């Protein structure tokens, strides 16, 4: 099945009538159990299930309406860069009728310094706005499957708090959607440590494809990811922070190990990334309950509890702290 066929099938469930505009917000999310590898690149079906935490009111606001002669795409108040606009227009091709164009205004409230402005909140907000514009009346699961076609990690950005994206087994991807985990964890903190703002040379899509195709270590990834996914769910249900931190950190390092074993080798770390990891390990040896995760980039996201906020700030004066459960709805 192609992505066009998938959309056609899903749109058969649509109920309402088109409106004149749509506007929505979606939060950014950080994976604690990573999505790394696709079993179907066109439908963005993942090899493994993943689990994330959303960043409350940090994310993307998007407004969409119909345009007359061409798509008009704006990012943070200015015409969007060509590659960004092309990615959005390609995605809109899935939904447009002949001769139909869109005006899309998208704004990230994530400080660019956080190195977090991602496609995840962007595609999730766009899908929610399109749902209003076209009057589809889809539920969050259906919207998460549409967001998935834009970017895999966007599947999880439809929800506040913890979200799980089920890999699914079906070839048509109808069972590969995300849902919210009910649990909250008000004391949980995320600390963003920025190492570099520079755009990475290899994006996640080609990075994961290269890893799946060439890395011997990738063979062990699906089993570890499924196991970490279960452990994290247990840790969240039990509010067991050391179990959560250890599993998330180990999962991220295992993902990066699969990349290092790819050919040509793939390393998203900078020397400072490694220095920061060592600082976290040293702090932990000294008794501080502190863990990290790293995505396909050089920046660290620290995981800790509110009670250790002062100690973390003292060690990392530039850390940007996010309280995921203190701004439940933006």
Q: Is 204 in the site for ligand DP6 (CB under 6 A)?
A: yes
44 touching ligand DP6, by CB under 6 A: yes
Interface residue with ligand DP6 among 3, 34, 57, 301 (CB under 6 A) is 34
Q: Any contact of residue 250 with ligand DP6 (CB under 6 A)?
A: no
Q: How far is the CB of 256 from ligand DP6 (least distance, A)?
A: 9
Nearest to 110 by CA among 99, 101, 120: 120
CB nearer to ligand DP6: give 144 or 204.
204
Q: Does 50 bind ligand DP6 (CB under 6 A)?
A: yes
**Closer Cβ to ligand DP6, 51 or 315, answer by number:** 51
For residues 325 and 330, give the distance between their C-alpha atoms in angstroms, rounded to a whole number.
Answer: 12
Choice between 116 and 129, CB closer to ligand DP6: 116
Q: How many residues bind ligand DP6 (CB under 6 A)?
A: 14
Q: Which of residues 72-91 bind ligand DP6 (CB under 6 A)?
A: none
Which pairing describes strands 72-75 and 101-108: parallel, antiparallel, or unpaired?
parallel
Omega prior to 217 cis, within 30 of 0: no
Are residues 131 and 138 in contact, defined by beta-carbon separation less than 8 angstroms?
Answer: yes
Does 308 bind ligand DP6 (CB under 6 A)? Our answer is no
When asked if residue 292 is in the footprint of ligand DP6 (CB under 6 A), the reply is no
Task: Encode 117-139: b = buried (16+ Cβ within 10 Å), e = exposed.
Answer: bbbbbbbbbbbbbbbbbbebebe
Of the residues 10, 24, 31, 188, which one makes contact with ligand DP6 according to CB under 6 A: 31
By the 8 A CB rule, do 159 and 190 touch?
Answer: no
- Is 121 a binding residue for ligand DP6 by CB under 6 A? The answer is no
Our finding on whether 37 is near ligand DP6 (CB under 6 A) is no
Q: What is the dihedral of CA 69, 21, 91, 93, to 10 degrees?
A: -40
Single out the residue of 153, 247, 299, 308 in contact with ligand DP6 (rule: CB under 6 A): 153
| Crossing angle for the helix pair 3-11 and 140-150, to the nearest 10 degrees | 160
The single residue among 25, 26, 28, 35 that binds ligand DP6, judged by CB under 6 A, is 35
Please list the alpha-helical segments (H only) found in the chain.
3-11, 82-92, 119-134, 140-150, 204-214, 221-238, 241-260, 271-285, 309-315
Cα 23 from Cα 268, distance rounded (Å): 34
Residue 106's SS3 state is strand
48 binds ligand DP6 (CB under 6 A): no
Q: Which is nearer to ligand DP6, 167 or 283 (CB)?
A: 167
293 binds ligand DP6 (CB under 6 A): no
Q: Between 2 and 20, whose beta carbon lies closer to ligand DP6?
A: 2
Q: What are the C-alpha distances in Å from 19 to residues 15, 66, 133?
A: 13, 10, 5
Residues that bind ligand DP6 (CB under 6 A): 31, 34-36, 44, 50, 119, 151-153, 204-205, 295-296
């Amino acid at each position: 099945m192609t992505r066009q066929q998938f959309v056609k099938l899903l749109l058969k469930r649509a109920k309402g009538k088109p409106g004149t505009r749509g506007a929505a917000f979606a939060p950014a999310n950080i994976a604690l159990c990573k999505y790394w590898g696709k079993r179907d690149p066109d439908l963005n079906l993942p090899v493994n299930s993943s689990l994330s935490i959303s960043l409350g009111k940090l994310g993307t606001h998007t407004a969409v309406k119909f345009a007359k002669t061409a798509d008009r795409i704006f990012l943070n108040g200015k015409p969007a860069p060509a590659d960004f606009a092309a990615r959005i227009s390609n995605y809109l091709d899935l939904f447009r009728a002949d001769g139909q164009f869109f005006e899309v205004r998208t704004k990230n409230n994530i400080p660019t310094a956080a190195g977090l402005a991602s496609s995840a909140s962007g595609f999730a907000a766009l899908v929610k706005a399109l749902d209003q514009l076209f009057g589809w009346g889809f539920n969050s699961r259906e919207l998460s499957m549409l967001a998935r076609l834009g970017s895999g990690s966007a599947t999880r950005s439809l929800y506040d708090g913890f979200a799980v994206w089920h890999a699914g087994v079906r070839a048509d991807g109808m069972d590969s959607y995300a849902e919210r985990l009910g649990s909250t964890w008000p004391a949980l903190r995320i600390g963003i440590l920025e190492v570099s703002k520079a755009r990475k040379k290899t994006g996640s899509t080609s990075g994961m494809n290269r890893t799946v195709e060439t890395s011997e270590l990738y063979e062990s990834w699906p089993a570890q990811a499924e196991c970490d996914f279960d452990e994290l769910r247990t840790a969240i249900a039990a509010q067991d922070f050391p179990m959560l931190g250890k599993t998330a950190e180990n999962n991220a390092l295992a993902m990066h190990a699969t990349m290092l074993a790819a050919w040509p080798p793939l390393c998203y770390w900078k020397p400072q990334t490694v220095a920061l990891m060592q600082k976290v390990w040293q702090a932990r040896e000294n008794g501080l309950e502190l863990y990290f995760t790293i995505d396909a980039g050089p920046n660290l996201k620290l995981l800790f509890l509110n009670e250790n906020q002062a100690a973390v700030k003292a060690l990392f004066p530039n850390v940007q702290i996010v309280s995921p459960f203190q701004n439940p709805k933006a």
